[in-house]
């Protein structure tokens, strides 16, 4: 029987956990077991259908594993015997371990809509061959309906029209697209940007049935309207892939995730760890379980799990939830709580907003207006969240906000923040919008003190 010090089951966060383990414990033998032959960059999946041109241009190279001395075994793990410390593969092969990491991820949520199993209805699976098939089918499509106006649905809608003359409709059950992630003013901006590309957006509408005889021909909406469709893409969320862990007797947590502590160690087996979409998450803010699934969280957890395997000392501070997307060239990002989320948990907040061009002078080529909204606790002045829209710099500005949140900076601290600025690269230091939004929150914060 093959044996390793560490066996990891998974893809994206599995690779990261393996690399982290080898960095901390270079003498340990690590095997990664992965179901897929080729692993895709999951966040790049919508871009397969437009910008990057095909799944072959969106893969995580296996060289990463080789370069880090990790052995790859392709195939599905079908059983874990925790007493014997053995993983059994579908082909019968057995692999022994000292430490095991579950990074088995998630699979798309498939709602019980009548007709959901019709031909050309595609949940967004993270599988190379499957997505290649969707890619070749899409060239024949005239009417595409996307169910779900979250970031996956919106990115697909934006991408699928690139280089294709097709009708695209997004159907969203809530009053706004992206409502679960952003406040209304940012949702409205994102929706308007997508509509500019010719995508049709229907909100407050649910798909009640998928029509067609074998192959999809349309969808029926809750309002009674019928839409023509020769392809349907489902972008309504994901569920953790945890059957193997459950069958191995591991304790399950929130919404069928694997229960882990702050070291990413499972509750009932100190030799088994879990990270990524399959692992339970606690909110950074209130410590309650949260269902958020993001690659950024998955890989952060994987680094912690890998580092802790033979000496559990690194702690997970909880999920801040940092998200970004780009719709028709305008970027949107959120770190931590939105105003809506803060209201839902009953937090007393003060808001500061600011706008500035992302170059100075604003007349520079490709300059873009950046809008920042920061939320501070009325009681402590500590930052609880931030939302930004603008040009490409938003992708990194939102990460700056995440660092501010993680280190519990106050509005006063952010006002004193020393940023680097350059005419072609950033807003002017006089109106730097993160700092100015904090400045604007200071007066109401002082009044409420």
240 part of the interface to ligand FAD, by CB under 6 A: no
Footprint of ligand FAD on 388-447 (CB under 6 A): none
Cβ proximity to ligand FAD, 16 vs 359, nearer residue: 16
Judged by DSSP in three states, 290 sits in: strand
Cβ proximity to ligand FAD, 46 vs 381, nearer residue: 46
**Number of neighbours of residue 352 by Cβ within 10 angstroms:** 27
Q: Which stretch binds ligand FAD (CB under 6 A): 23-31, 35-43, 111-119, 188-196?
A: 35-43
Backbone φ, ψ for residue 415 (5° rounding): -60, -35
Count of residues in the chain: 449
Cβ proximity to ligand FAD, 46 vs 393, nearer residue: 46
With CB under 6 A as the contact rule, the residue among 104, 308, 387, 427 that binds ligand FAD is 104
Q: Which stretch binds ligand FAD (CB under 6 A): 6-14, 63-71, 311-319, 397-405?
A: 6-14
* Rounded CA separation 373/335 (Å): 11
With CB under 6 A as the contact rule, the residue among 7, 11, 306, 388 that binds ligand FAD is 11
As measured in angstroms, the least distance from the Cβ of 211 to ligand FAD is 25
Pairing of the two strands 289-290 and 322-327: unpaired
Footprint of ligand FAD on 109-148 (CB under 6 A): 124, 126
Size of the site for ligand FAD (CB under 6 A): 33
As measured in angstroms, the least distance from the Cβ of 301 to ligand FAD is 8
With CB under 6 A as the contact rule, the residue among 4, 6, 13, 150 that binds ligand FAD is 13
Judged by DSSP in three states, 46 sits in: helix
Pairing of the two strands 369-377 and 383-390: antiparallel
257 part of the interface to ligand FAD, by CB under 6 A: no
Q: Which stretch binds ligand FAD (CB under 6 A): 291-299, 332-340, 359-367, 409-417?
A: 291-299
* Rounded CA separation 239/380 (Å): 36
Helix ranges (DSSP H) in 263-337: 295-308
Distance of CA 146 to the CA centre of its chain: 18
* Rounded CA separation 76/79 (Å): 9
35 part of the interface to ligand FAD, by CB under 6 A: yes
> Are the C-beta atoms of 221 and 202 separated by less than 8 Å?
yes
As measured in angstroms, the least distance from the Cβ of 390 to ligand FAD is 17
296 part of the interface to ligand FAD, by CB under 6 A: yes
Tokens of 285: 């803010």
Residues 8-34 as b/e (b if ≥16 CB within 10 A, e otherwise) read: bbbbbbbbbbbbbbbebbeebbbbbbb
* Rounded CA separation 444/449 (Å): 9
As measured in angstroms, the least distance from the Cβ of 449 to ligand FAD is 36
160 part of the interface to ligand FAD, by CB under 6 A: no
* Rounded CA separation 173/147 (Å): 9
45 part of the interface to ligand FAD, by CB under 6 A: yes
> Are the C-beta atoms of 252 and 274 separated by less than 8 Å?
no
As measured in angstroms, the least distance from the Cβ of 175 to ligand FAD is 23
* Rounded CA separation 308/263 (Å): 7
End-to-end Cα spacing for the chain:
66
> Are the C-beta atoms of 175 and 201 separated by less than 8 Å?
no
Cβ proximity to ligand FAD, 278 vs 445, nearer residue: 278
With CB under 6 A as the contact rule, the residue among 3, 28, 36, 267 that binds ligand FAD is 36
8 part of the interface to ligand FAD, by CB under 6 A: no
Half-sphere exposure of residue 193: CA atoms within 13 angstroms, side-chain side:
23
Kindly give, in sequence order, each residue whose CB lies less than 8 Å from that of residue 303, ignoring residues fewer than 6 positions away: 16, 17, 20, 314
46 part of the interface to ligand FAD, by CB under 6 A: yes
> Are the C-beta atoms of 299 and 17 separated by less than 8 Å?
no
31 part of the interface to ligand FAD, by CB under 6 A: no
34 part of the interface to ligand FAD, by CB under 6 A: yes
Beta bridge partners of 169: 145, 200
As measured in angstroms, the least distance from the Cβ of 246 to ligand FAD is 12
Cβ proximity to ligand FAD, 120 vs 299, nearer residue: 299
303 part of the interface to ligand FAD, by CB under 6 A: no
Q: Which stretch binds ligand FAD (CB under 6 A): 4-12, 169-177, 186-194, 207-215?
A: 4-12
Binding positions for ligand FAD, rule: CB under 6 A: 9-14, 33-36, 39, 42-43, 45-46, 76-77, 103-106, 124, 126, 152, 241, 244, 276-277, 293-296, 298
């Amino acid at each position: 029987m093959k044996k390793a010090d560490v066996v990891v089951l998974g893809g994206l966060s599995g690779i990261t956990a393996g690399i982290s383990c080898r960095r901390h414990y270079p003498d340990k033998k690590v095997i990664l077991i992965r179901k897929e032959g080729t692993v895709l960059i999951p966040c790049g999946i919508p871009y397969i259908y437009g910008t990057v041109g095909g799944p072959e241009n969106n893969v995580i190279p296996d060289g990463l594993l080789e370069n880090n001395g990790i052995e790859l075994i392709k195939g599905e793990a079908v059983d874990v015997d925790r007493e014997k410390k053995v993983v059994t593969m579908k082909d019968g092969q057995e692999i022994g371990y000292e430490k095991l990491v579950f990074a088995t991820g998630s699979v798309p949520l498939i709602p019980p809509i009548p007709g959901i199993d019709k031909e050309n209805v595609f949940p967004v699976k993270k599988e190379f061959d499957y997505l290649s098939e969707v890619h070749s089918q899409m060239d024949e499509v005239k009417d595409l309906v996307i169910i779900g106006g979250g970031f996956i649905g919106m990115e697909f809608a934006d991408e699928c029209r690139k280089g294709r003359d097709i009708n695209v409709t997004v159907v969203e059950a809530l009053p706004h697209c992206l409502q679960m992630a952003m406040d209304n003013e940012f949702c409205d901006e994102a929706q308007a940007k997508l509509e500019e590309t010719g995508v049709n957006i229907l909100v407050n509408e649910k798909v009640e049935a998928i029509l067609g005889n074998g192959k999809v021909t349309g969808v029926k909406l809750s309002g009674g309207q019928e839409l023509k469709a020769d392809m349907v893409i489902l972008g309504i969320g994901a569920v953790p892939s945890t059957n193997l862990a459950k069958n191995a007797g591991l304790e399950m947590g929130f919404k069928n995730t694997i229960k882990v502590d702050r070291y990413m160690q499972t509750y009932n087996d100190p030799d088994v760890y879990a990270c990524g979409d399959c692992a339970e998450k606690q909110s950074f803010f209130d410590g309650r379980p949260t269902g958020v699934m993001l690659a950024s969280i998955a890989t952060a957890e994987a680094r912690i799990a890998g580092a802790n395997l033979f000496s559990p000392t690194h702690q997970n501070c909880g999920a801040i939830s940092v998200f970004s997307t780009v719709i028709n060239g305008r970027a949107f990002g959120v770190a931590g709580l939105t105003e809506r989320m803060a209201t839902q948990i009953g937090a007393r907040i003060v808001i500061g907003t600011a706008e500035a061009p992302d170059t100075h002078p604003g007349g520079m080529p490709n300059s873009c207006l950046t809008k920042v909204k920061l939320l501070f606790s009325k009681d402590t002045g500590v930052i609880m969240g931030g939302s930004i829209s603008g040009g490409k710099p938003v992708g990194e500005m939102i990460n700056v906000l995440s660092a501010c949140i993680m280190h519990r900076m106050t509005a006063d601290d952010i006002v004193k923040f020393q940023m680097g600025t350059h005419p072609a690269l950033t807003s002017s230091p006089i109106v730097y919008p993160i700092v100015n939004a904090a400045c604007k929150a200071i007066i109401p914060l002082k009044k409420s003190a």
